[in-house]
């Protein structure tokens, strides 16, 4: 996909939303394979959010143990 084609599939707002959705999924312990986005850029934003949220989830689990 060329950058021009890719621009039609996402916006800064949709990137932020995908990141926040991924963060919440990671924070609540949902699996990473639950990533719902077919567009690669949005999938990457969701996964980045999931990584950050899952890190917080893991820290909380260790503190609670």
Which position has the higher pLDDT, 8 or 64? 64
The span from the CA of 5 to the CA of 19, in Å, is 21
Q: What predicted TM-score, i.e. pTM, was given to this entire model?
A: 0.82
Q: How far is CA 42 from CA 2, 16, 26, 61, 65, in A?
A: 15, 9, 16, 28, 34
Specify whether the CB–CB gap between 47 and 32 falls below 8 A. yes
**The token pair that represents 20 in the structure block:** 């926040």
Grade residue 26 by pLDDT with cuts at 50, 70 and 90.
Answer: very high
Question: Taking all residues of the chain, what is their mean pLDDT, rounded to a whole number?
Answer: 89
Q: What is the residue extent of each domain of the chain?
A: 17-62
Which position has the higher pLDDT, 43 or 6? 43
């Amino acid at each position: 996909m060329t950058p021009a084609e890719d621009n039609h599939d996402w916006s800064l707002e949709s990137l932020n939303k995908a990141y926040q959705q991924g963060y919440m999924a990671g924070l609540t312990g949902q699996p990473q394979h639950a990533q719902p986005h077919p567009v690669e850029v949005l999938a990457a934003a969701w996964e980045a959010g999931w990584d950050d949220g899952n890190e917080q989830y893991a820290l909380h689990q260790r503190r609670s143990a």
